[in-house]
Structure 1
Amino acid sequence: MLSRKLLRRSATALAGAALLALAWGALEWADRAFPPPIASSLPVSTEVVDRDGALLRAFATPDGRWRLRADLSEVDPQFVKMLVAYEDKRFWDHDGVDAFALVRAAVQFAESRRIVSGGSTLSMQLARLIEPRESRSLGAKLRQILRAIQIERRLSKREILERYLTLAPYGGNIEGIRAASLAYFGKEPKRLTLSEAALLVALPQLPERRRPDRNLELAHAARDRVLTRMVSAGLIDQPEARRAAAENVSEIRRPLPALAAHAAGTALRNAPTEHRHQLTIKRRVQEGLEEVARAAARKLGPKLSVAMLMADAETGEILGEVGSSDFFDPSRSGWIDMTRIVRSPGSTLKPFIYGLAMEQGLVAQETLIEDRPADFAGYRPRNFDLGYQGDVSIRQALQLSLNVPAVRLLDALGPARLIARFRQVGVKPDLPRNEPPGLAIGLGGVGVTLRDLVQLYTGLANGGEVKALRDGTEAGNAALPAGGTILDDHATWQIADILSGMRPPERASRRGIAYKTGTSYGYRDAWSVGFDGRYVLGVWVGRADAAAVPGLSGYVSAAPILFEGFAKSGLAAVPLKAAPPGTYRPKRDELPVTLTRFSTDGGLVATAPTEPAPQIVFPPQGARVDLGIASGNPMPLALKIQGGRAPFRWLANGKPLATIERRRTASWTPDGAGASTLTVIDAAGRATSVSVFVE
């Protein structure tokens, strides 16, 4: 008898276990057969962020939603605690369903015939967000419960919270904590006030009714209810709640950030499948430049636009770029990125003409040059003011931006040599097709972009080394040209020294900036490009349709914007680079006879030389010579030339040696180890140079 009972009990237990196993297997099968629609990645707004990850611009999702991905580490921890305490206080402990809360909600409903408290967990709410249903039936609730259990099996608690905070509705087309915080408070949700956190906790329950931009009183009341609940939960004390309740709720819905519109658009076009694009831009710099550009355009008048570009001369990284004064202003053709449009640069290329002439030993800062009417095989340049200064120093000629002296130097150098220097550092000026470069390129008779100019000027700020510009929008991480040397460091310092002596515009704050202005033919473009010891800023002013603007000029129209841009960039001023070893600026009475006055015959003879031009045969170009400098008693370096007309003037790093030699040999004892440039000038004014390294 006893054995039969045991058998029956054993059979019952086995049957129960089998049923449980069958039920569990069925649940496992159903879970796999009908998984929750959890996408590996949520459809979110495409973001363009700055070098530090700060949001520059967001693009709405294809269905028109502002939905930014939430990262729990970037959300105020106090807000998270309040959310869990208000919506699902046992969130960290349950497996998707809070049975106690469900029972309590059912009892309260049965007693009062209305919903007193909800039993939905955050996991159930996420289930409703990823699989929305209009019905609020018992069947829909049961489906949410099952989906919540499935979600908990697949996602961690952190992932559940992040998805909820990405999808939660906050009114209108705003979804997620980040979009809501930016729209209602103008900031990321990393640091929220108690009042702001309480409002963001309250909004998702009734997002349309509680929107502060439409129903301010209801928003206030909802926020205060959350604060009261937090006091009851022990998260905050009563005085804190009173202070938070006394704060006003903003009734403004702000637009999401739309900075660097042109760069953001370029990044999106070059990598359309990416949802996050990081640029080299610095948000603070970008905000300052855009503010300056908008204000300047309003002051300049209708249809005029402003473009600005700031770069780090040491790295080539673009820190701020403004393609137009207002991307959304059709009257100024704001959608056109004027940093990339080819225009005439006016006089902004002149510093490179003077620098090349100094590098070749043709002139020094105090060399005199004629500013008088001149005819260059039919080309007759005139100055901007149609007047002439007579004899001026090279320093004065560049600072006054005189046209005739610049063309005289370019004629001696050869326009092709200047263009070759530009090309070797990655800048390819736009020249007339099938025509060699002419003298007019020195006065703006060539096409360049604002990006080209800023890239060239990184060389002047960086000891002659040009850095290729990049902003992070480059397609497929395309390789950029490496840049190169535009001028040797001695000539570069001389040019920076001259440009740093330029008079700032009226009422501009002094910042230690070296700068140059330019105005294109017909008053179509005004330019100003400046630099300190680290940063380069370029400014263009004009009309996008290239129409003439009477009265437009680089000094009057663009230079004030340059100085204001530096001031509003938020970047600390960096002193201009010190002179390289062996470089100095001789006074006029210290100049050798061949550098006293510039002329095509050196100012010494009236007939063209018949002998070959001088050529340095020792030391050869690029030589590395051990003179025993480390011993403290260096040997002199022997110098030897062939050709040329005596007497000869030698210069080491731009500094003339003590004597003028009639022989074709000389010697030089360096001040220290390092790279040096040796130049010889003959009586006909012809020069040649070599670069060596002495040690």
Structure 2
Amino acid sequence: MQSKHRLWWLLPLGLLVLAWVLDRQYPLPAAPPPATRVLAEDGQLLRAFPAPDETWRYPVTLAEVAPVYLEVLMAYEDRAFYYHPGINPFSIVRAAFQNLGAGRVVSGGSTLSMQVAGMLDPYPRNWTGKLQQAFRTLQLEWHYSKDEILTLYLNLAPFGGMLSGVESASRHYFGKPARQLSDAEAALLAVLPQRPSEWRPDRYPQRAREARDKVLQRMLQLGLWPAQRVNAARREPVAALPPEPPLLAPLLAQRLKAHCPSCTEIHSLVDAGLQRQLQGLVESYRVRLDERQSLAVMVVRNADRAVRAYVGSAHFGDQLSEGHVDMVRAIRSPGSTLKPFAYGMALDRGLIHSHSLLMDTPRHGKTYRPHNFTGGFSGPVTAIEALRRSLNLPVVQLMEHLGPDRFVATLQNAGMILRGEGQLQPSEAVVLGGVGTTLESLVGVYTALAREGLAGAVRLQPHEPEHNRWVMSAGAAWISWHMLAQNPVRALNPLSDRPWQLAWKTGTSYGYRDAWAVGVSPQWTIGVWVGRPDGSPSPGRFGRQMAAPLLFRVHQLLPEMGVPLKQPESVSRQPVCWPLGTLKQQQDNKVDNCLQQFEAWLLNDTAPPTLTQTPDMLQPPLLRKVWLDEATGLGVSPSCKTAEQHLEQRSIALWPLPVEPWIRAEWRRESRLPPAANRCTRLVGGRERLRIIGIENGNHLRLPPGRETLEIDLGVSGATGSLNWYLNGESLTALQGNRLALALKNSGHYRLSVVDASGNTDSIQFSFQRSHTGD
């Protein structure tokens, strides 16, 4: 008897050993991984990527689910969940009697633990399967706490289609997180896993209502909710969104997921509300594009360079416009968008102030001869006008002084991505777009205009650190911002009185392949690119026409604090004079040498003189000292002065030779310099002005009857050496003897210019009309 008694004590031990062996031999399957969610700064979902099993499963904890859902779930599914060992025999017996009485399955005896066990390890619907479920349930209770099992249910329960878990169901059906579920929504999601395919609210709203109301009735019968609360929940309609995930910043989300493939929750700095507005704006703007064009927009908060909105393509997924290509990161020619940095660097090096005289004139004797976007020349222009009009020749003049190597190195040190031949072997062409960069990189460096000259990479995620790199001084950045802050609103809306707070610059790459616009306000930096992802041209589509209007509309979406950029102590505003370019108060600008006056922004109270030479070409000084006979006013050299003469020394300000054809006649050298006295004829040598002979300035030419082409033989007087001829900026071929055979076929207005070997120039304007009148 004693041996039998001992065997009964060994039975529980044997069962424990058997359970341990079975647990080791058949471990619980791991929970399937969740989907990947890319979130906005406030936690809103930007885009989700399905789990490996192609289901939408968003991880959630008990604390992240509305308490009302847990209350309804426990009341309806398993009131004794926290008290039974996983299998509730009373529920199984009750369900068996109910099913036998009804002659069909009307109730199940499965506890929440048993349902989780079946989700982790699906079983066949037979007695063997039930034993397998029971084993897995006990195993589950052995390894996990009740709260952990309930959490597994919240994440694994099926809700129709490819939805798994209450969080994904709540977001897909109701567009809200599970913590915000209403009473009616909680009741529907509590019952939906029983028949997820038949009670889907997006497909079968009436069936879903009936199932939901059954749960609400149970809450009333159990005395858990009063009738008033139940009736209010019943009145709520069953309305569900299509079970599709949102697509906010889809290309950014794809990019972030690629950086962390194993991450299940990825946080960004995007403002979800602004992103929705921007995508809506882009969608409406697409009507201006052709079917193969795309666009990209990036909005960055200057304070921390956080990317608040990100549109990588005009139509995500579209095949014709290659909507899968992220043009925020594509290497493209930036056109003229690099010009502001050349002006900022020139300010820092003491080469210019905001109203320095720069030359928009033909580049005779130069191997690199770019043209302006609109063609032709403007002569002398202020630095601010040259930048705002995006003139090519003045900025190339600056580049010759800055040095392309130094320019490229400074931009790269500031964090700008530069690619291509222009980066490997820099030349003056780099400032006109002769290099490749990205919209993201460009925006990062443009933030320097609002951040006291400090540039850096933009930030996509909260954990990314800020890196500040100097690109120009705070004073140069402030002046550059004001040089670009021209107001186009009056042209777009004459009635608008909104204060303008945006400095902006456009750019167009060679062959109309890329249209750009970048804007900087005190709080924001915005970048816009428009073009074809395959790099083919979009003829006639340029930055000011295609990208700038979108830039201005994006800026209107953004809140501005109204706080202007703080003016650095190194910046002052003082009057300067042309042609010398120096302060009006200087001695050289007194008398009649201040021919034009401007209020200029100066850096460190310094007004650099007008650039009159380039590193490879000397030009006469602009301040000429002459001796005058007080009696006659004629020019006299002290070496040929007579005893009766009294001489007066005078300093005369002259304009740079290349701009003389564009200035008033009374400002030119022949008018400014005094004629020489007869006894000092050597003063006259070389002072005969270069003149075009054959057409007078302002002539109106007509085509004679019976002829298709007007041919004119032109010459010059006062020339030195070989000549270079230009018609509307285009180089012409001279005949032997430096004469020019000009052939006109098309009606229009023309500017004809000539430059000799000494840099002397002449320019005339005339018009030509093919039609003619009879006698």
Is the deviation greater in 445-454 or in 377-386? 377-386
Q: Distance in 2 between matches of 1:368 and 1:428?
A: 32
**Secondary structure, in 3 states, of the residue corresponding to 2:574?**
coil
Q: RMSD across aligned C-alpha pairs, in angstroms?
A: 2.9
Q: 1:109 aligns with which of 99, 102, 109?
A: 99
Q: Distance in 1 between matches of 2:330 and 2:127?
A: 63
Aligned to 2:68: 78
Q: Distance in 2 between matches of 1:218 and 1:510?
A: 57
Letter in 1 for 2:37: E
Q: Distance in 2 between matches of 1:243 and 1:375?
A: 86
Q: Does 1:506 align with 2:496?
A: no
What is the CA distance between 1:299 and its match in structure 2? Answer: 3.2
Q: 1:367 aligns with which of 349, 356, 368?
A: 356
Aligned to 1:467: 456
Q: 1:319-358: CA deviations, max 9, x gaps? A: 3322211221111111111112222212111111111111
Q: Within 5 Å, give how 1:547-566 maps onto structure 2.
A: 547-566=536-555
Aligned to 1:484: 469
| Residue ranges of structure 1 left out of the alignment (5+ in a row) | 1-7, 610-695
Kept in 1: contact 2:422–2:434 (CA 8 A):
no
Q: Distance in 2 between matches of 1:551 and 1:408?
A: 27
In structure 2, the CA distance between the partners of 1:254 and 1:138, relative to structure 1 (3 Å rule), is closer
Kept in 2: contact 1:304–1:541 (CA 8 A):
yes
Aligned to 2:654: none
Letter in 1 for 2:66: D
Q: Within 5 Å, give how 1:270-349 maps onto structure 2.
A: 270-349=259-338
Q: 1:374-426: CA deviations, max 9, x gaps? A: 34613333322224444332222222222222222222222222112112112
Aligned to 1:60: 50
**Secondary structure, in 3 states, of the residue corresponding to 2:328?**
coil
What is the CA distance between 1:314 and its match in structure 2? Answer: 4.0
**Secondary structure, in 3 states, of the residue corresponding to 2:218?**
helix
Q: 1:226 aligns with which of 212, 215, 220?
A: 215
Q: Distance in 2 between matches of 1:534 and 1:438?
A: 34
Q: Distance in 1 between matches of 2:532 and 2:119?
A: 49
Q: 2:429 aligns with which of 440, 455, 472?
A: 440
Q: Distance in 1 between matches of 2:11 and 2:376?
A: 106
Kept in 2: contact 1:75–1:189 (CA 8 A):
yes
Aligned to 1:265: 254
**Secondary structure, in 3 states, of the residue corresponding to 2:472?**
coil
Kept in 2: contact 1:502–1:515 (CA 8 A):
no
Aligned to 2:534: 545
Q: Distance in 2 between matches of 1:344 and 1:224?
A: 62
Q: Does 1:528 align with 2:517?
A: yes
In structure 2, the CA distance between the partners of 1:252 and 1:271, relative to structure 1 (3 Å rule), is closer
What is the CA distance between 1:225 and its match in structure 2? Answer: 1.3
Percent identity, please. 37
Aligned to 1:681: none
Aligned to 1:91: 81
Aligned to 1:579: 567
Q: 1:45 aligns with which of 11, 25, 35?
A: 35
Q: Distance in 1 between matches of 2:374 and 2:519?
A: 23
Q: Distance in 2 between matches of 1:107 and 1:55?
A: 46
Aligned to 1:494: 479
Q: Distance in 1 between matches of 2:275 and 2:49?
A: 18
In structure 2, the CA distance between the partners of 1:111 and 1:315, relative to structure 1 (3 Å rule), is same
Kept in 2: contact 1:70–1:163 (CA 8 A):
no
Kept in 1: contact 2:612–2:619 (CA 8 A):
no
Aligned to 2:196: 207
Q: Distance in 2 between matches of 1:486 and 1:146?
A: 68
**Secondary structure, in 3 states, of the residue corresponding to 1:348?**
helix
| Residue ranges of structure 2 left out of the alignment (5+ in a row) | 578-582, 590-605, 623-775
Give the TM-score of the pair, scaled to structure 2: 0.71
Aligned to 1:599: 611
Kept in 1: contact 2:163–2:169 (CA 8 A):
yes
Q: Distance in 1 between matches of 2:554 and 2:505?
A: 15
Q: Distance in 2 between matches of 1:523 and 1:300?
A: 14
Kept in 2: contact 1:529–1:538 (CA 8 A):
yes
Aligned to 2:235: 246
Q: 1:121 aligns with which of 106, 111, 136?
A: 111
In structure 2, the CA distance between the partners of 1:577 and 1:140, relative to structure 1 (3 Å rule), is same
**Secondary structure, in 3 states, of the residue corresponding to 1:149?**
helix
Which fold has the larger relative contact order, with Cα–Cα distance below 8 Å and residues 6 or more apart in sequence? 1
Aligned to 1:394: 383
Q: Does 1:156 align with 2:145?
A: yes
Work out the number of aligned pairs and report it: 591
Q: Distance in 1 between matches of 2:560 and 2:263?
A: 34
Give the TM-score of the pair, scaled to structure 1: 0.78
In structure 2, the CA distance between the partners of 1:229 and 1:388, relative to structure 1 (3 Å rule), is farther
Q: Distance in 1 between matches of 2:185 and 2:376?
A: 66
**Secondary structure, in 3 states, of the residue corresponding to 2:320?**
helix
What is the CA distance between 1:491 and its match in structure 2? Answer: 0.5
Q: 1:166-194: CA deviations, max 9, x gaps? A: 21111122211122122212222221122
Letter in 2 for 1:50: A
Q: Distance in 1 between matches of 2:531 and 2:390?
A: 20
Q: Distance in 1 between matches of 2:295 and 2:387?
A: 25
Aligned to 2:405: 416
Q: Distance in 2 between matches of 1:55 and 1:530?
A: 28
**Secondary structure, in 3 states, of the residue corresponding to 2:52?**
coil
**Secondary structure, in 3 states, of the residue corresponding to 2:266?**
strand
In structure 2, the CA distance between the partners of 1:435 and 1:156, relative to structure 1 (3 Å rule), is closer
**Secondary structure, in 3 states, of the residue corresponding to 1:331?**
coil
In structure 2, the CA distance between the partners of 1:599 and 1:184, relative to structure 1 (3 Å rule), is same
Q: Distance in 1 between matches of 2:298 and 2:9?
A: 74
What is the CA distance between 1:243 and its match in structure 2? Answer: 2.8
Kept in 2: contact 1:123–1:160 (CA 8 A):
yes
**Secondary structure, in 3 states, of the residue corresponding to 1:516?**
strand
What is the CA distance between 1:282 and its match in structure 2? Answer: 3.6
When Rg is computed on C-alpha atoms for both structures, the one with the higher figure is: 2
Aligned to 1:630: none
Aligned to 2:677: none
Kept in 2: contact 1:399–1:502 (CA 8 A):
no
Q: Within 5 Å, give how 1:625-640 maps onto structure 2.
A: none
